[in-house]
Amino acid sequence: SQQGEEDPQALSIQEGENATMNCSYKTSINNLQWYRQNSGRGLVHLILIRSNEREKHSGRLRVTLDTSKKSSSLLITASRAADTASYFCATERETSGSRLTFGEGTQLTVNP
Amino acid sequence: NAGVTQTPKFRVLKTGQSMTLLCAQDMNHEYMYWYRQDPGMGLRLIHYSVGEGTTAKGEVPDGYNVSRLKKQNFLLGLESAAPSQTSVYFCASKPSGKDTQYFGPGTRLTVL
Protein backbone atom coordinates (compact mmCIF):
# COMPACT_ATOMS: atom_id res chain seq x y z
CA SER A 1 0.00 0.00 0.00
CA GLN A 2 1.16 3.51 -0.67
CA GLN A 3 2.54 5.24 2.40
CA GLY A 4 2.33 8.69 0.94
CA GLU A 5 -0.56 10.55 -0.53
CA GLU A 6 0.13 13.71 -2.41
CA ASP A 7 -2.04 16.59 -3.37
CA PRO A 8 -2.77 18.09 -5.65
CA GLN A 9 -2.41 15.39 -8.29
CA ALA A 10 -1.81 18.12 -10.84
CA LEU A 11 -0.86 21.77 -10.56
CA SER A 12 -0.60 24.36 -13.32
CA ILE A 13 0.91 27.79 -12.63
CA GLN A 14 2.57 30.69 -14.43
CA GLU A 15 6.29 31.34 -14.40
CA GLY A 16 7.31 33.37 -11.40
CA GLU A 17 4.55 32.03 -9.18
CA ASN A 18 5.17 29.75 -6.22
CA ALA A 19 4.17 26.08 -6.28
CA THR A 20 3.18 24.16 -3.17
CA MET A 21 2.79 20.40 -3.03
CA ASN A 22 1.66 18.41 -0.04
CA CYS A 23 2.37 14.88 1.15
CA SER A 24 0.71 12.90 3.91
CA TYR A 25 1.86 9.59 5.33
CA LYS A 26 0.61 7.02 7.78
CA THR A 27 3.38 5.56 9.92
CA SER A 28 6.32 6.95 11.88
CA ILE A 29 9.30 7.84 9.74
CA ASN A 30 13.04 8.35 9.93
CA ASN A 31 13.07 10.84 7.09
CA LEU A 32 11.03 12.16 4.20
CA GLN A 33 12.53 12.88 0.80
CA TRP A 34 11.34 14.70 -2.28
CA TYR A 35 12.28 13.55 -5.76
CA ARG A 36 11.69 15.05 -9.17
CA GLN A 37 11.00 13.16 -12.40
CA ASN A 38 11.13 14.75 -15.81
CA SER A 39 9.00 13.07 -18.45
CA GLY A 40 10.52 9.77 -19.53
CA ARG A 41 13.43 10.02 -17.12
CA GLY A 42 14.54 8.57 -13.81
CA LEU A 43 14.01 10.24 -10.46
CA VAL A 44 16.39 12.84 -9.09
CA HIS A 45 16.74 13.57 -5.39
CA LEU A 46 15.85 17.12 -4.38
CA ILE A 47 15.85 17.42 -0.61
CA LEU A 48 15.65 15.34 2.56
CA ILE A 49 14.19 16.26 5.92
CA ARG A 50 14.67 14.15 9.03
CA SER A 51 11.95 13.38 11.54
CA ASN A 52 13.49 15.72 14.13
CA GLU A 53 13.58 18.65 11.69
CA ARG A 54 10.73 21.00 10.92
CA GLU A 55 11.97 22.98 7.94
CA LYS A 56 14.80 22.88 5.41
CA HIS A 57 15.81 25.06 2.52
CA SER A 58 17.80 24.35 -0.61
CA GLY A 59 17.97 27.12 -3.19
CA ARG A 60 14.40 27.81 -4.32
CA LEU A 61 13.09 24.78 -2.44
CA ARG A 62 11.58 24.85 1.03
CA VAL A 63 10.30 21.72 2.70
CA THR A 64 8.41 21.49 5.96
CA LEU A 65 7.56 18.49 8.08
CA ASP A 66 4.85 18.17 10.70
CA THR A 67 5.21 14.79 12.37
CA SER A 68 2.15 15.34 14.56
CA LYS A 69 0.01 15.66 11.44
CA LYS A 70 2.14 13.21 9.46
CA SER A 71 2.45 15.64 6.60
CA SER A 72 5.03 17.52 4.59
CA SER A 73 4.96 20.26 2.02
CA LEU A 74 7.34 21.25 -0.75
CA LEU A 75 7.42 24.87 -1.84
CA ILE A 76 9.13 25.92 -5.05
CA THR A 77 9.52 29.67 -5.19
CA ALA A 78 9.73 31.81 -8.33
CA SER A 79 8.96 28.84 -10.56
CA ARG A 80 10.45 28.45 -14.03
CA ALA A 81 9.25 26.56 -17.09
CA ALA A 82 12.14 24.15 -16.47
CA ASP A 83 10.52 23.16 -13.15
CA THR A 84 7.80 21.35 -15.11
CA ALA A 85 8.01 17.74 -13.89
CA SER A 86 6.42 15.23 -11.55
CA TYR A 87 7.34 15.54 -7.89
CA PHE A 88 7.25 12.59 -5.50
CA CYS A 89 7.55 12.37 -1.78
CA ALA A 90 9.15 9.26 -0.34
CA THR A 91 9.28 8.16 3.27
CA GLU A 92 11.74 5.95 5.05
CA ARG A 93 9.67 4.31 7.74
CA GLU A 94 11.14 3.62 11.17
CA THR A 95 10.59 -0.10 10.61
CA SER A 96 11.66 -0.37 6.98
CA GLY A 97 15.41 -0.10 7.16
CA SER A 98 16.76 1.50 4.01
CA ARG A 99 13.63 1.18 1.93
CA LEU A 100 11.58 4.09 0.63
CA THR A 101 7.82 4.21 0.08
CA PHE A 102 6.75 6.63 -2.63
CA GLY A 103 3.63 8.71 -3.00
CA GLU A 104 1.69 8.94 -6.23
CA GLY A 105 3.21 12.25 -7.22
CA THR A 106 2.16 15.73 -8.23
CA GLN A 107 2.43 16.75 -11.88
CA LEU A 108 3.58 20.37 -11.98
CA THR A 109 3.25 22.41 -15.15
CA VAL A 110 4.83 25.85 -15.23
CA ASN A 111 3.57 27.90 -18.14
CA PRO A 112 5.96 30.44 -19.68
CA ASN B 1 31.13 8.23 -13.68
CA ALA B 2 28.18 6.82 -15.60
CA GLY B 3 26.12 6.54 -12.40
CA VAL B 4 23.29 4.01 -12.65
CA THR B 5 22.68 2.49 -16.06
CA GLN B 6 19.93 0.13 -17.19
CA THR B 7 19.81 -2.28 -20.09
CA PRO B 8 17.73 -2.44 -22.26
CA LYS B 9 15.86 0.88 -22.55
CA PHE B 10 12.83 -0.66 -24.25
CA ARG B 11 11.56 -4.21 -24.70
CA VAL B 12 8.44 -5.87 -26.00
CA LEU B 13 7.69 -9.43 -24.88
CA LYS B 14 4.98 -11.92 -25.58
CA THR B 15 3.11 -13.51 -22.69
CA GLY B 16 5.12 -16.39 -21.29
CA GLN B 17 8.50 -15.21 -22.54
CA SER B 18 11.34 -14.61 -20.14
CA MET B 19 13.88 -11.82 -19.92
CA THR B 20 16.46 -10.23 -17.66
CA LEU B 21 16.88 -6.54 -16.96
CA LEU B 22 20.38 -5.41 -16.03
CA CYS B 23 21.21 -2.60 -13.65
CA ALA B 24 24.80 -1.48 -13.24
CA GLN B 25 26.31 1.19 -10.99
CA ASP B 26 29.88 2.44 -10.87
CA MET B 27 29.63 4.31 -7.55
CA ASN B 28 30.55 1.35 -5.31
CA HIS B 29 27.16 1.52 -3.61
CA GLU B 30 26.14 -1.28 -1.26
CA TYR B 31 22.38 -0.97 -1.66
CA MET B 32 20.49 -1.56 -4.89
CA TYR B 33 16.77 -1.52 -5.62
CA TRP B 34 14.30 -2.47 -8.35
CA TYR B 35 11.03 -0.51 -8.65
CA ARG B 36 8.15 -0.51 -11.06
CA GLN B 37 6.15 2.56 -12.01
CA ASP B 38 2.65 2.31 -13.44
CA PRO B 39 0.60 5.19 -14.88
CA GLY B 40 -0.65 7.58 -12.22
CA MET B 41 1.18 5.76 -9.48
CA GLY B 42 4.36 6.23 -7.57
CA LEU B 43 7.18 3.74 -7.54
CA ARG B 44 6.64 0.37 -5.89
CA LEU B 45 9.56 -1.66 -4.61
CA ILE B 46 9.95 -5.10 -6.19
CA HIS B 47 13.20 -6.43 -4.68
CA TYR B 48 16.25 -4.93 -3.11
CA SER B 49 19.76 -5.85 -2.02
CA VAL B 50 21.83 -4.59 0.90
CA GLY B 51 25.08 -6.00 -0.43
CA GLU B 52 26.75 -8.40 -2.83
CA GLY B 53 25.20 -11.86 -2.61
CA THR B 54 22.09 -10.70 -0.72
CA THR B 55 18.54 -10.05 -1.93
CA ALA B 56 15.22 -9.38 -0.23
CA LYS B 57 11.58 -9.00 -1.24
CA GLY B 58 9.93 -5.64 -1.51
CA GLU B 59 6.30 -4.65 -1.78
CA VAL B 60 5.44 -6.40 -5.08
CA PRO B 61 7.88 -9.32 -5.58
CA ASP B 62 5.58 -11.91 -7.19
CA GLY B 63 6.58 -12.93 -10.70
CA TYR B 64 10.10 -11.53 -10.39
CA ASN B 65 13.47 -12.87 -9.30
CA VAL B 66 16.73 -11.04 -8.69
CA SER B 67 20.41 -11.75 -8.29
CA ARG B 68 23.37 -9.70 -7.01
CA LEU B 69 26.41 -11.79 -7.87
CA LYS B 70 28.62 -8.72 -8.26
CA LYS B 71 28.44 -5.57 -6.17
CA GLN B 72 28.01 -3.34 -9.19
CA ASN B 73 25.22 -5.34 -10.88
CA PHE B 74 21.65 -6.11 -9.89
CA LEU B 75 19.62 -8.29 -12.27
CA LEU B 76 15.84 -8.48 -12.42
CA GLY B 77 14.35 -11.55 -14.07
CA LEU B 78 10.89 -12.28 -15.38
CA GLU B 79 10.55 -16.05 -15.82
CA SER B 80 7.15 -16.03 -17.54
CA ALA B 81 6.02 -12.55 -18.47
CA ALA B 82 2.40 -11.51 -18.02
CA PRO B 83 0.56 -8.44 -19.38
CA SER B 84 0.26 -7.20 -15.78
CA GLN B 85 4.04 -6.76 -15.80
CA THR B 86 3.82 -4.08 -18.47
CA SER B 87 5.44 -1.15 -16.71
CA VAL B 88 8.44 1.11 -16.49
CA TYR B 89 11.17 -0.42 -14.35
CA PHE B 90 13.65 1.70 -12.43
CA CYS B 91 16.81 0.66 -10.69
CA ALA B 92 18.36 2.69 -7.90
CA SER B 93 21.40 2.48 -5.67
CA LYS B 94 22.70 4.15 -2.55
CA PRO B 95 25.78 3.95 -0.36
CA SER B 96 25.64 2.48 3.10
CA GLY B 97 25.01 5.12 5.77
CA LYS B 98 23.43 7.58 3.38
CA ASP B 99 19.76 8.14 2.62
CA THR B 100 19.64 9.43 -0.96
CA GLN B 101 18.94 6.96 -3.75
CA TYR B 102 20.35 7.43 -7.24
CA PHE B 103 18.12 6.29 -10.08
CA GLY B 104 18.74 4.86 -13.50
CA PRO B 105 16.88 6.10 -16.60
CA GLY B 106 14.36 3.26 -16.63
CA THR B 107 13.36 0.37 -18.86
CA ARG B 108 9.99 0.47 -20.57
CA LEU B 109 8.61 -3.07 -20.83
CA THR B 110 5.50 -4.06 -22.73
CA VAL B 111 4.07 -7.56 -22.45
CA LEU B 112 1.58 -8.47 -25.16
**Which is nearest to A33 in space by CA: A76, A77, A94, A92?**
A92
Q: How high is the pLDDT of residue A3?
A: 56
Per CB-CB distance under 8 Å, the chain B contacts of A47 are none
Summarised one tens digit per residue, pLDDT across range A15-72 is 999 999 999 999 999 999 999 999 989 999 999 999 999 999 999 999 999 999 999 9
Q: How confident is the model at residue A93 (pLDDT cuts 50, 70, 90)?
A: confident
Q: Is A99 on the interface with B (CB under 8 A)?
A: yes
Q: Indicate yes or no: CB of A31 within 8 angstroms of CB of B99.
A: yes
3-class secondary-structure state, position B101:
coil
Amino acid (one-letter) located at A105 = G
Nearest residue on chain A to B90, judged by CA atoms? A42
Q: How high is the pLDDT of residue A1?
A: 38
* Rounded distance between C-alpha atoms, residue B49 and residue A93, angstroms: 17
Per CB-CB distance under 8 Å, the chain A contacts of B48 are 98-99
3-class secondary-structure state, position B52:
coil
Q: Indicate yes or no: CB of A48 within 8 angstroms of CB of B31.
A: no
Summarised one tens digit per residue, pLDDT across range B62-105 is 999 999 999 999 999 999 999 999 999 999 999 999 999 999 99
Q: Indicate yes or no: CB of A44 within 8 angstroms of CB of B103.
A: yes
pLDDT of residue B37 exceeding 90, the answer is yes
DSSP per-residue string spanning A39-105: TTS-EEEEEEEETT-SEEEETTEEEEEETTTTEEEEEE-S--GGG-EEEEEEEEETTSTT--EE---
Summarised one tens digit per residue, pLDDT across range B41-64 is 889 999 999 999 999 999 999 999
* Rounded distance between C-alpha atoms, residue B101 and residue B92, angstroms: 6
